[in-house]
Amino acid sequence: MTKRTTTHHSPASWLAGVTLGLGLLATAAHAGGAIESVTGYVQGGAEVLRIELSEPLAQLPAGFAIQSPARIALDFPNVTNALGRSLVEINQGNLRTANVVEVGGRTRVVLNLKQATSYKSELQGNSVIVSLDPAGSVSASASSVAPSALPAAAASTDVTALKDLDFRRTTDGAGRVVLQLGSSDVGVDVQQQGKDLVLDIPRTALPEGLRRRLDVTDFGTPVQTITAEQRGERVRVTIKAVGDWEHSAYQSDQQFVVEVRAKKVDVNKLAQGPTYTGEKLSLNFQNIDVRSLLQVIADFTNFNIVTSDTVTGALTLRLKDVPWDQALQIIMDAKGLGMRKTGTVLWIAPKDEIDARTKKDLEAADAIKKLEPLRSQAFQLNYAKATDLVAQLTGGSLPGASAGGGSSNKFLSERGSVMAEPRTNQLFVTDIGSKLEEVAKLIQSLDVPVRQVMIEARIVEASDTFGRSLGVRLGGGDLRAQKGGDGGYGLFGGNRVAIGTDYTNATNSSGFGGPVNVGGNFVNMPAALSGVTGTGSFALSIFNSAANRFLTLELSAMEADGQGKIISSPRLVTADQTKALIEQGTEIPYNVTAPNGATTIAFKKAVLKLEVSPQITPEGNIILNLDVNKDSVGQVTEQGVAIDTKHVTTQVLVENGGTVVIGGIFELEETNQVNKVPLLGDVPIVGNLFKNTTKTANKREMMVFITPKVISDRGPVR
């Protein structure tokens, strides 16, 4: 953010001493003449100041201008002050006063202006004519023009070169940046940008030797660096400073000076508390009458002061460079006085007298209100409800009812009453005239269309499932005993052993029982996934040539990968600060036992619901009170159907048309399951024939997106 500053002060310390009531004695006269008169007048719409001297000047006086306070200073070397006074009242146009001060063999004429402006000066015999440009037309910079010189406007178009850029440290520790301009007609624009001070010099070229960056940290001033650069047809000088600082700037002919100094806290400063803005003055009186002191302030401020007869006493005070309004407050506090202001008239009296007068005025005004005749007026409402306004005007709890008188009235007078007509939406108010005007202004503020908001919600549910299963089936049979041969396998001592997939199958294989069941399995662990049917399988059978002994192996595998997405997008439109609800879903019946033992059927909702209360802020943003619910039918239990619910309740601040994620639920379920035959399933490699491996991974995620939009008066937002 760029902040333009116009805080400028005079370069000479003696100029700061020109204040109210301060006079300077003239020094010994020097040869060169004296100032005999200073007059101001208007010529051709412009303010002109004529300075009459006893002798003509050989050359125009040097001068400079500052912006705050708005002043123009002219120096007359070897010239004395023959006016007999230092202050000249002018009060003509932009000219206020002129201070003529003689110091050190020269006289300085200081023109106090209302607004900063530029000027031109010329010699006419024994006179110096100073012409002021219209206030605010150009920046306040000095311009001296001889009678034979070209007009300033003709020379202002030339581009001049910056002659020099220098830095110095003053005796009080301030940093002084000195610019030697190419012409006195060039004005410098001073701006404060953040912590930097920027000087823009128009119609100026920067020589190569001055395009540099000066590091002046070692000087011990607030100024750290000074950078000069060319920007088009202007030169920019950037002054970087640290700490809490202030600056002043002034121009004298072709020299422009900027001083940056650290701010100092004046412990003797009286203005602590309220901010006083009056023009400064100095007062030094001993045992002066208070009424006379008030008259001095009245003469200084041009205010009309009426002092009560009860104001008496004397006062001794010494004030230096104090705003006049602060000085007046100090005097009143010291003597227990108060003040009432009406226009340009100040009435000063003891505080008790002012309080008593104020009380009487208020009591009289209240009595007039009680005697003022009542009037009735009808108000047609367009957007607001008449019954609602009745409650606001009366403070009653029953909207629409007639109300009048009593302590319940919070807007009407004690005799006022109001009645609402719902059919025509009119308001009938009976009260005094001033209250009717207040009611009209209130209705004008309240009876306005309410802005509407469209809220769009997007509920996204995504799922990602993955499953893998590997299984094996191992079976066999021995049909030799069934076909008339010897079943089983020989052992020591003529013993034999028969092998089967179960007890019956082993018995039948030995020939002791019935037929052999060839469908049995030693290992039965095929691949399987929940909710998935059909697997891929590979099988082989090993058997002898007689086909009475065989071994069967089946390998099965299954892999499932699925993705799903469910998007729900409810939307609704509602007025500002008005709750709205939208829902869609199913009502599930379930049995309820009554206290008498009877069974009834009740219903429970499984719905998608969006409930919202919007509030539009003055900045155009939207505050949302949200209640989002996403239900679905779950598992079936003995007691009934379960309901899976997802619920979000929150308050958020969203910019108009923006989107915010108000909540999310992420679920990850991973399962690794191994089914195996003990011991055999642990054998490396071969053990895979005796086990089943299943791996599943389920991901589920839900996100809720909210987008509010304020509907303009031109039409709905699409």
Per-residue model confidence as pLDDT tens digits over 551-596? 888 888 888 888 888 788 888 899 888 899 988 888 888 888 878 8
Of 231, 181, 24, which is closest to residue 108 (Cα–Cα)?
24
Prediction pTM value = 0.44
Confidence of residue 266 (pLDDT cuts 50, 70, 90): low
CA dist 404 → 390, 417, 419, 446, 474 (Å): 11, 4, 9, 21, 99
d(C-alpha 189, C-alpha 8), whole Å: 12
Three-state SS for 2? strand
Region 675-700 average pLDDT: 87
Region 511-538 average pLDDT: 82
CA dist 507 → 475, 486, 624 (Å): 16, 13, 79
For the chain, the helix, strand and coil percentages under 3-state DSSP, each to the nearest 5:
15, 50, 35
Number of neighbouring beta carbons within 10 Å of residue 35: 20
Region 316-330 average pLDDT: 83
Question: Are 342 and 303 within 8 A, CB to CB?
Answer: no
Confidence of residue 90 (pLDDT cuts 50, 70, 90): confident
Region 599-604 average pLDDT: 82
Of 680, 683, 692, which is closest to residue 470 (Cα–Cα)?
692
Of 104, 152, 146, which is closest to residue 128 (Cα–Cα)?
146
Q: Please tell me the predicted confidence (pLDDT) of residue 225.
A: 94
Number of neighbouring beta carbons within 10 Å of residue 64: 23
d(C-alpha 115, C-alpha 693), whole Å: 94
Q: Please tell me the predicted confidence (pLDDT) of residue 414.
A: 81
Question: Are 182 and 201 within 8 A, CB to CB?
Answer: no
Q: Is there a cis peptide before residue 274, judged by omega within 30 degrees of 0?
A: no
pLDDT tens, position by position, 274-293: 677 778 888 878 888 888 88
Tell me the pLDDT of the chain averaged across its residues. 80
DSSP string, 223-257: EEEEEEEEETTEEEEEEEE-SSEEEEEEEETTEEE
Q: What is the 3-state secondary structure (H, E, C) of 53-98?
A: ECCCCCCCCEEEEECCCCEEEEEEECCEECCCCCEEEEEECCEEEE
d(C-alpha 97, C-alpha 86), whole Å: 10
Per-residue pLDDT at 228 exceeds 90: yes
Gyration radius of the chain's alpha carbons: 50
Q: Please tell me the predicted confidence (pLDDT) of residue 140.
A: 37
Using the structure block, give the residue that is written with the tokens 């002046």: 216
Amino acid in position 222: P
CA dist 278 → 91, 275, 282, 625 (Å): 18, 10, 12, 51
Residue percentage of the chain with pLDDT more than 90: 10
d(C-alpha 676, C-alpha 641), whole Å: 37
Confidence of residue 32 (pLDDT cuts 50, 70, 90): low
Q: Please tell me the predicted confidence (pLDDT) of residue 215.
A: 92
d(C-alpha 690, C-alpha 525), whole Å: 8
Three-state SS for 423? coil
Per-residue pLDDT at 139 exceeds 50: no
Pairing of strands 160-161, 204-205: parallel
